[in-house]
Chains A and B, each alone.
Chain A
Amino acid sequence: MTPAAPPALVAGLLLATALGLAYAGFALLALTLDRNWKAVAATASGPARGPALAPPPSWTDVRASGYLLLALAFMPLLARDAVASFAIVSWVLWLGVAAALVAFTLAWRPHWLRPLASALASGPAEDRPPARDGLCGGSPPSGGSPRRVPPKRPPALARDPSHVRQES
């Protein structure tokens, strides 16, 4: 049975909801990454430059919420299309759009994510080590250790310019 399509306005709203959920999900995931957090936390909020924000003590919940929002974005699409195959393909492609929008926001308008960061922040920034980053939680050997601990590396390798070059 081919189900009836919802009216155009409802369909549009459902699309917007899906995109909004996916954007919010990716925004949360982006903030769990050290580079993005610093970029957003350092932005001014409003006319007055706000204090730099300290990251939350743990990223676990943030990351989980992010993934949950991405999953939830599928629901409005399914409601809109009623055909699962359309909804799945749409979902994959809309996720790409939302992720690109988050990347563009971070590149050109990072302060837009400032309110979200303030909500997550544990307070103004101090000299304490930020939580570790990594979308998948599994950043390579340095994983689990705070950023500022210098990497353990054999001296020979450290002197090898080819390896220094790999840093960014």
Chain B
Amino acid sequence: MKETFRLSMLWLHTWAGVVLGSVLFAIFWMGSLSVFDHEIDRWMMPETRIAEPPVGFSLDTFAGRAAEIAPEASEWSLSLPRERVPYGYFSARDTSGTSTHRFRIDVTAGEAIPESETLAGTGFIYPFHYMLHLQWMNLGMWIVGMAAMAMLLLLISGVVVHARLFKDFFTLRPTKKLARSTLDAHNLSGVLVLPFHVLITFSGLVIFAFVYLPQAPDLVYGDSEGLSGQFRVDAFGFGHYERERMGVPARAAASLDAMAAWATSEWGGTAPDDVRVYHLGDAGGYVMMRRGDQKQVGFDRDAIYLDAATGAELDRFETAPVMRAQQFLLGLHLIQFDHWALRWLYFLAGLSGCVLIGTGFVYWFEKRRSKHAEMSQTGLRVVEVLTIGSVTGIMVATVAFFVANRLLPSGADFAGLDRATLETRAFWLVWVGTFAHVGLRRWRGAEMRAVWREQTWALAALSAVAPVLNGVTTGMHPLRAAGEGQWAVLGMDALLLATAALAVVVARRLGREAPEAAPAVPKRPSALPKPRPAARPATGSMPLPSGDGAPEATGVLGGDGAVTGDETPAVARPPVARPSPEDRAEP
């Protein structure tokens, strides 16, 4: 069927990209934002904009407060504040096994932070990234997994297709035709960031390996408990050490601070970031401290168990080598470490993935457009709607989510939906609205450019409004944020304004440049490809139509033969640029 391996890879690359590009863009976009999920939380949850806890924060003082907050508790757990999270997470459980909700707590004041009426970054944007908020039967996770596999295929097939990988390593020709410059941008964002794309996609799949392959632990352990059985203990150290209550009141209580200091020295200077106290007030009481992992790439499951009365070590858990490798990949993907330079690099690399997918789409359309789309008009329309809605649409919806967060009053309730739900509904409504906008405008005869431009203007307007709303509703305008060291709020405002500025530039350019493709095809007089003056060896060059001459009118990319089930392979089609009535020429 396909003449060469490369052409079949090109076919795969094109269609996998068109079919899954929308999902991939959503995953990359939300993933890039998730890099700053805690910063988005600060912006969207003004009540959590508390000062960072002082260095000398005392666990013993906190334990006193914990006894007041949860007097009935027989055990409590505290995730300690960290660089990006100024508060801790506290939960308690009483002897009957009833747990409190895990809530945010100001560890220095020992007071619970009022419940936030928003899902914000960690509750909405981050889960969107890995499960698309489709909870039913883990459907979202499976779709994301499939998209990740497709991404790996796209990367591999992309490298195969791009045979001028080295010669065009630095090539970007912004002044050339849209198809050419878009393909350059597509190649550049794919090739230069390739290691990141491969690693982030692969490590993403590894994170949910147990969702995709739950049978693996069962096979080894021979039990049906799977992830909840002994495997969980061996792999993650959950419940690695346990002992029963003795039923005798404790006679003494060792200092938690001293235990933390000792654990820190045992771990070569890495302080614990999670403290759990079991069997409070009982002679059998013990404490678990989990090693912090903010100073390394990989996660760490290491834990030390200590006697609550004496502070003596009871047991410890050390991550096994294979798990350490797995936890390294997790850490590489989930970047919970403290490293601002890397965090920004991840953000940029993630956005370059968005550019990669977006330019892929635009290139596909440019090729379509210039070759008298033999694909059905309905099919083309569907892809148009999907593309614009999933590229600019999701951006507009995301910023609308931020704006809704600042506009909805506290305690807002509409049609039985609480404030957090209303915010997410705003996101979904706006997103669906952007798809409808594309469909309607195209149906009414608007050009693609015009539709892109309108959505870009919407993005610009919303992004400019959001920081203003933040300043008005919370009083934390950029100057005050800088003065009080609220860098997360300041950074979020700055990025929103930068988005607005960039969107204005793009929208103006989209408005200024005349549509190229419409008159281009009929105007081309020559039906035959003329060799370019400095003809280069064709071998080893990319089979993509890359020049700016007429031949690209029938470029192989897009492989219409494949769509229509045409027997003729796309390459064998004579490159006759015949003007045709079905040509999608824009007015």
Contact = CB atoms under 8 A, between A and B. Distances in A.
Interface of A: 1-2, 15, 26, 29-30, 33-36, 81, 83, 85-86, 89-90, 92-94, 96-97, 99-100, 102-104, 106-108, 133-136, 139-142, 147, 150-151, 153, 157, 161-168
A150 B167 CA distance: 18
B583 to A, nearest CB: 20
A165 B348 contact: no
B341 A15 contact: yes
Interface of B: 163-164, 166-174, 188, 192-193, 195-196, 268-270, 295-298, 328, 332, 337, 339, 341-342, 345-346, 348-349, 352, 528-529, 531-532, 535-547, 551-552, 554-556, 571-572, 574-575
A124 to B, nearest CB: 21
B345 A166 contact: no
16 contacts: A2-B295, A81-B339, A96-B192, A99-B169, A99-B170, A103-B188, A103-B192, A107-B174, A133-B167, A139-B540, A147-B536, A151-B538, A161-B574, A162-B571, A165-B575, A166-B538
B531 A164 contact: yes
Contacts of A15: 341
Contacts of B546: 167-168
Contacts of A162: 556, 571-572, 575
B87 to A, nearest CB: 24
Given A2-B268, A165-B551, A166-B542, A93 B529 contact: no
A35 B171 contact: yes
B539 A35 contact: no
Contacts, number: 151
A164 B529 contact: yes
Contacts of B173: 107
Nearest to A18: B341
B167 A134 contact: yes
Which label, helix, strand, loop or mixed, suits the secondary structure of the B interface?
loop
Which label, helix, strand, loop or mixed, suits the secondary structure of the A interface?
helix
A85 B296 contact: yes
Nearest to B268: A1
Nearest to B345: A93
A151 B531 CA distance: 13
Contacts of A142: 536-537, 539-540
A146 to B, nearest CB: 12
B328, B345, B349 — which one has the most chain A CB atoms within 10 A of its CB? Answer: B345
Contacts of B164: 168
Contact of B547 (A94, A108, A153, A168): A168
Nearest to B574: A161
A51 B171 CA distance: 24
B339 A166 contact: no
A106 B168 CA distance: 12
Contacts of B168: 35
Given A89-B342, A166-B541, A166-B542, A100 B528 contact: no
B345 A141 contact: no
Nearest to A133: B167
A133 to B, nearest CB: 7
Given A86-B342, A100-B188, 17 more contacts: A33-B166, A36-B171, A83-B296, A85-B328, A90-B342, A96-B352, A103-B192, A107-B173, A134-B166, A139-B166, A153-B537, A161-B574, A162-B571, A162-B572, A164-B551, A165-B554, A165-B555
A161 B170 contact: no
Given A92-B195, A96-B195, A167 B532 contact: yes
A163 B4 CA distance: 13
A164 B532 CA distance: 9
A18 to B, nearest CB: 10
Contacts of B554: 165
Nearest to B193: A96
A136 B164 CA distance: 11
Contacts of B192: 96, 99-100, 103
A108 B554 CA distance: 30
B204 to A, nearest CB: 15
A29 B337 CA distance: 33
A65 B529 CA distance: 41
Contacts of B551: 161, 164-165
Contacts of B297: 83, 85-86, 89
Top 6 nearest A-B pairs (CB, nearest first) are A140-B540, A151-B537, A168-B546, A135-B166, A85-B297, A93-B345
A163 B554 CA distance: 12
A1 B267 CA distance: 8
Given A89-B342, A100-B188, A161 B529 contact: yes
Contacts of A94: 345
A94 B192 CA distance: 10
Given A96-B195, A165-B555, A168-B536, A26 B170 contact: yes
A104 B545 contact: no
B539 A141 contact: yes
B542 A97 contact: no
B435 to A, nearest CB: 32
Nearest to B270: A2
A35 B167 CA distance: 8
A62 B538 CA distance: 27
A156 to B, nearest CB: 13
Given A90-B342, A94-B345, A133-B167, A163 B538 contact: yes
Nearest to A5: B295
A35, A135, A157, A167 — which one has the most chain B CB atoms within 10 A of its CB? Answer: A167
B540 A167 contact: no
A167 B164 CA distance: 11
A35 B541 CA distance: 14
Contact of A168 (B169, B541, B556): B541
B174 to A, nearest CB: 5
Contact of B172 (A92, A107, A150): A107
Contacts of A134: 166-167
A34 B534 CA distance: 13
A134 B195 CA distance: 21
Contacts of A34: 167
Contact of B540 (A85, A100, A141, A150): A141
